[in-house]
């Protein structure tokens, strides 16, 4: 063990473990280093400066510390993130991760507080070692024992390197090992970006937020009784249009449907898109839609939301690099579901502007890339790829679009059904990839993206013995699987783009502040905004070069510079 840390090179895998107020541990090969320090992130920054090593750590706890210190690390490997990639899980407890990598029974993973009074005695071994004699990680180390001393941090860092090597071996068994390794690296960097966005937040115009909330939900309530009064006022918007007047629970969809039938509206459901077509001629429908807008803001994006999640001009929520299904980035605090009416509150800070960028037709372009279908690759050369597909099929552009999206989502009926047959004939490789995924899902087999992400299927035991239910469940799995392999690949491409923008934007003072499915918001200084906008657009092709196995597939993005998110078209 040494306190003198060497310079690391690009090919080095360096394990790292930090604990504020305790120190930092490093491990590379068979060597370990430990440093006692109050500010371990500062030590990591100094060691990282000028180094192109790949930093290996266990999970989000380390990413959060690095983000808090403003670290500029790009090359990393997050053990928990890669576990989620390989196994298609949402959670990744370290004990389970370690047991899985070492072929140990996951059900036997020890946990804190186990008494084991009725079990045979277990050889606990040396408690100063992180691994028990039975091969499992010690739960007390996982629970914070790793941070009791710099030497323990170094041992914990060394174990991270051991875990990384075993994960790398697992990735070699993926259908496309090189791409799977690449995905593991980019997903790890994306989780570090998520830690940064969690810490920094989304710039918000609080005055505008207060105005919009007041318009929709009324002034800030002073008491609980005042809040109840506001609720009654919102309901009155609808009750005033009822003949005869009646009061119902507007928050119960079944009661709303009955109310509409009593008023002469026979509707299969009360979905917004169905009601919108009637609002201009039906006062009750217009009132119901206005009530929904006000109610959503009052209950989800109202005064409590503002008080709980907005501070210092920033909206903060917890970001995750994977939703556990197809791998999309997700966030709490309403960051991923902010309604359009609230988008004016997302505004650049003084001296800054926002670059908004949206990937165009991303899923069909990803389908072209992962399938390698020559005809579909050729269609991606156009700004609107549905036009050449429509000409090839001899249909309108709208029908071609519905057919392509239907093929990816499993919607094979309606006016696009005839065009779907044309797709299968003209683009057999792309359609074959979707059909294979659908069949695997139908049979209950997990599917894997070209980047190596496992997407788990399910089998509902309640369908046993019921043929109709079993067939319906199998069909649902098939639809999910055919879309998941494309949506998952699209999410992987998007994250490569996001981390590339993060890296390229740092010297320009730009920060990624929102990642919404296929849309980025980048906050940047006014005097560099043109450079940042050009960089964001250029990095689409840079990300495609890194991610896509098909160099001829063209990806496009709509890039604009705005002061408020709502200004973007």
36 forms bridges with which residues in the sheet?
Answer: 23
Paired with 558 in beta bridges are 358
User: Cα separation of 391 and 400, whole Å?
Assistant: 9
Contacts of 120-124 with C-beta under 8 Å, sequence gap 24+, read: none
Report the pLDDT value the prediction gives residue 313, as an integer from 0 to 100: 96
Tokens describing residue 88: 């298609």
Splitting the chain (569 residues) into consecutive groups of 10 residues, what average pLDDT does each group show? 74 94 94 94 85 92 91 92 93 94 92 57 75 95 96 97 97 93 97 96 97 88 85 88 84 88 84 85 90 88 94 95 84 91 96 97 96 97 96 93 90 71 94 96 94 88 73 90 94 97 97 95 98 98 93 96 93
Task: Give me the pLDDT at residue 280, please.
Answer: 86
238: left (phi over 0), alpha (psi -120 to 50) or beta: alpha
For helices 417-426 and 397-409, give the axis angle rounded to 10 degrees: 80
Cα–Cα distance for residue pair 349/521, rounded to 1 Å: 13
The rounded radius of gyration (Å) of the Cα atoms in the chain is 27
Residue written as token pair 């065009």: 419
What pLDDT, on the 0 to 100 scale, is given for residue 228? 85
pLDDT value at residue 50: 72
Q: Is 58 exposed, middle or buried (0-12, 13-18, 19+ CB in 10 A)?
A: buried
> So what's the pLDDT on residue 465?
65
Q: Give the pTM.
A: 0.91
Residue 114 has a pLDDT of 58
Nearest Cα to Cα of residue 81 among 157, 2, 192, 206: 192
Beta bridge partners, 31, equal 28
- Tell me the helices (H) and strands (E) count for the chain, helix number first: 21, 16
83's enclosing H/E stretch is helix 79-87
The CA distance from 12 to 544, in Å, is 26
**Residues 133, 135, 139, 143, CA torsion sign:** positive
Q: CATH 3.30.70.370 in the chain, residues?
A: 316-362+491-567
Which two tokens mark 257?
A: 């449907």
Which among 232, 555, 548 has a CA at the least distance from the CA of 382?
555
Cα 70 to the chain's mean position, in Å?
A: 22
Cβ atoms of 168 and 155 closer than 8 Å: no
- Estimate to the nearest angstrom the gap between the alpha carbon of 540 and the chain centroid: 18
SS3 3: coil
Cβ within 8 Å of residue 487, ≥6 positions away = 326, 328, 363
CB distance 317 to 515 below 8 Å? no
Give the CATH number of domain 316-362+491-567: 3.30.70.370
Report which of 518, 544, 522 is spatially closest to residue 532, judged by C-alpha positions. 522
CA distances from 544 to 347, 370, 377, 552 (A): 30, 12, 13, 10
């Amino acid at each position: 063990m040494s306190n003198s840390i060497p310079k690391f090179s690009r090919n080095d895998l360096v394990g790292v473990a930090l604990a504020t107020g305790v120190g930092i541990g490093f491990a590379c090969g068979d060597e370990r280093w430990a440093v006692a320090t109050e500010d371990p992130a500062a030590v990591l920054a100094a060691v990282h400066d000028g180094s192109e090593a790949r930093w290996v750590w266990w999970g989000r706890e380390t990413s959060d510390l690095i983000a808090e210190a403003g670290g500029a690390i790009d090359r990393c490997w997050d053990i928990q993130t890669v576990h989620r990639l390989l196994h298609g899980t949402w959670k990744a407890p370290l004990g389970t991760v370690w047991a899985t990598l070492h072929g140990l029974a996951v059900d036997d993973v020890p946990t804190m507080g186990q008494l084991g009074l009725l079990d045979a005695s277990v050889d606990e071994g040396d408690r100063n070692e992180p691994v028990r004699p039975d091969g499992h990680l010690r739960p007390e180390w996982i629970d914070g024992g790793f941070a009791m001393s710099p030497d323990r941090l170094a041992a914990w860092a060394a174990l991270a390197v051991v875990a990384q090597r075993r994960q790398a071996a697992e990735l070699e068994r993926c259908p496309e090992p090189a791409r799977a390794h690449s995905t593991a690296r980019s997903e790890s960097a994306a989780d570090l970006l998520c830690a940064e966005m969690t810490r920094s937040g989304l710039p918000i115009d609080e005055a505008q937020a207060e105005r919009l909330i007041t318009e929709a939900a009324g002034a800030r309530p002073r008491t609980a009784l005042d809040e109840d009064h506001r609720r009654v006022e919102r309901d009155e918007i609808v009750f005033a249009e009822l003949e005869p007047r009646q009061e119902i629970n507007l928050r119960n969809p079944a009661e709303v449907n009955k109310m509409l039938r009593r008023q002469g509206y026979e509707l299969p459901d009360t979905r917004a898109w169905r009601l919108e077509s009637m609002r201009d001629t039906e006062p009750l429908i217009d009132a119901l839609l206005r009530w929904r807008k006000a109610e959503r803001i009052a209950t989800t994006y109202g005064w409590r939301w503002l008080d709980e999640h907005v501070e210092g001009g920033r909206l903060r929520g917890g970001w995750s690099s994977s939703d556990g299904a197809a791998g999309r980035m997700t966030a709490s605090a309403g960051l991923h579901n902010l309604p359009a009416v609230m988008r004016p509150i997302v505004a650049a800070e003084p001296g800054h502007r926002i670059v908004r960028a949206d990937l165009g037709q991303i899923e069909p372009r990803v389908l072209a890339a992962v399938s390698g279908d020559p005809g579909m690759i050729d269609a991606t050369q156009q700004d609107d790829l549905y036009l050449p597909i429509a000409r090839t099929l001899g249909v309108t552009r709208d029908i071609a679009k519905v057919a392509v999206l239907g093929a990816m989502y499993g919607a094979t009926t309606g006016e696009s059904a005839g065009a779907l047959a044309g797709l299968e004939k003209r683009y057999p490789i792309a359609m074959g990839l979707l059909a294979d995924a659908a069949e695997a899902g139908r049979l209950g087999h997990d599917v894997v993206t070209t980047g190596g992400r496992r997407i788990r299927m399910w089998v509902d035991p309640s369908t046993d013995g019921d043929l109709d239910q079993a067939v319906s469940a199998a069909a649902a799995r098939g639809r999910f699987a055919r879309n998941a392999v494309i949506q998952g690949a699209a999410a992987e491409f998007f994250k490569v783009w996001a981390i590339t923008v993060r890296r390229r934007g740092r010297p320009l003072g730009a920060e990624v502040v929102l990642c919404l499915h296929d849309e980025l918001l980048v906050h940047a200084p006014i005097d560099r905004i043109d450079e940042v906008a050009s960089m964001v657009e250029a990095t689409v092709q840079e990300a495609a070069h890194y991610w896509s196995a098909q160099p001829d597939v063209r990806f496009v993005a709509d890039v604009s510079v705005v002061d408020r998110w709502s200004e973007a078209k």
